[in-house]
């Protein structure tokens, strides 16, 4: 008995059902009876799984793979095997009866049985080709991550401009009081925190003093301007009253002269 092919190659996807054909050849001048055994009967369906091959003839056996529950790891080896066993028989044995009379056939053969093993293997060639083609494609460029650290602008060691002392003092106090875990502060720019607080306090006091002086000057200027305006209005009123008084006197004299 000859079996062809010697191995059964399964193609991916290995979760799909697929069939392979195995040819059983009888090189003898007498018929042989055969039977097929497998290490994984739940994964394969063999038709026919037993039968008779005429002298100098062949018989095809269909092996259907039922498919795995999930894909095996790349490069994994299949451990499934098939065993074809044959014994000589006479012309009276029918193919459909081989399974039921197999023990008697083995006993009649008296150890003259022939065993042929074939292995099942996973063919990953197609999968390897796909992976090689994928590796040739350049991966998309990963956009550069933006820095989430925020630099806080802090006043330098030189005095803040005179035009906005309060703003500079407030910025310095905010920079010193900001929590370290939320904001990155450049110590080389602000110096020692205690010194910076002192400078910020001095700047704040100076700003308040300047602001008070400006308010006082503005208040004095406003009061002076108001006094001048009042004096001007009083003088204008006095001038108007004097003019009316003179006019009344003249009218009175005119009337008196007419009466006389």
pLDDT tops 80 at residue 202: no
Q: Are 193 and 176 in contact (CB under 8 A)?
A: yes
Q: How far apart are CA 167 and CA 252, in angstroms?
A: 72
When pLDDT is averaged across residues 125-152 and rounded to a whole number, the result is 52
For 97, which DSSP code? G
Indicate the average pLDDT of the chain.
Answer: 76
**233 against 69, higher pLDDT:** 69
Contact 21, 135 (CB under 8 A): no
**CA geometry: angle 9, 11, 17, nearest 5 deg:** 100
Dihedral sign (CA 243, 246, 251, 254): negative
**Has residue 69 got a pLDDT over 80?**
yes
CB under 8 A, 24+ apart: contacts of 179-186: 183/150, 183/152, 184/149, 184/150, 184/151, 184/152, 185/152, 185/154, 186/151, 186/152, 186/154
Residues of the chain with pLDDT > 70, as a percent, come to 62
Q: Is the pLDDT of residue 138 over 70?
A: no
Higher pLDDT, 98 or 205: 98
pTM for the full predicted model: 0.50
pLDDT tens per residue, range 86-130:
999 999 999 999 999 999 999 999 888 999 999 999 999 876 555
Task: Assess contact for 26 and 54: CB atoms under 8 A.
Answer: yes
Residue 19 has pLDDT above 90, yes or no: yes
Report pLDDT for 216: 73
pLDDT band at 10 (very low <50, low <70, confident <90, very high): very high
Instruction: Give the mean pLDDT of 250-259.
Output: 86
24-33, 98-107, 160-169, 246-255: least confident range: 160-169
In the predicted model, what is the mean pLDDT of residues 229-240? Answer: 70
Higher pLDDT, 253 or 4: 4
Q: Detail the DSSP E strand segments found in the chain.
A: 2-4, 7-11, 18-25, 32-38, 44-47, 50-53, 58-65, 81-88, 114-123
User: Which segment, 101-105, 186-190, 231-235, is predicted with the most confidence on average?
Assistant: 101-105
Compute φ and ψ for 69, nearest 5 degrees: -70, -35
């Amino acid at each position: 008995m000859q079996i062809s092919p010697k191995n059964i190659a399964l193609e991916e996807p290995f979760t799909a059902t697929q069939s392979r054909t195995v040819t059983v050849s009888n090189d003898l001048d007498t018929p042989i009876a055969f039977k097929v055994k497998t290490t994984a009967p739940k994964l394969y369906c063999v038709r026919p799984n037993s039968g008779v091959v005429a002298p100098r003839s062949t018989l095809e056996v269909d092996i259907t793979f039922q498919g795995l529950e999930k894909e095996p790891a790349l490069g994994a080896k299949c451990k499934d095997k098939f065993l074809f066993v044959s014994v000589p028989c006479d012309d009276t044995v029918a193919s459909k009866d081989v399974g039921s009379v197999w023990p008697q056939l083995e006993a009649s053969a008296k150890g003259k049985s022939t065993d042929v093993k074939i292995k099942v293997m996973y063919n990953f060639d197609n999968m390897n080709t796909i992976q090689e083609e994928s590796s040739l494609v350049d991966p998309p460029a990963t956009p550069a991550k933006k820095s989430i650290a925020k630099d806080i602008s802090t006043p330098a060691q030189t005095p803040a401009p005179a035009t906005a002392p309060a703003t500079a003092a407030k910025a310095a106090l905010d920079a010193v009081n900001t929590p370290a875990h939320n904001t990155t502060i450049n110590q080389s720019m602000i110096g020692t925190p205690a010194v910076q607080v002192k400078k910020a306090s001095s700047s704040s006091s100076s700003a308040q003093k300047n602001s008070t002086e400006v308010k006082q000057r503005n208040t004095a200027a406003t009061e002076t301007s108001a006094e001048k305006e009042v004096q001007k209005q009083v003088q204008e009123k006095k001038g108007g009253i004097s003019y009316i008084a003179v006019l009344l006197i003249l009218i009175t004299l005119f009337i008196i002269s007419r009466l006389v």
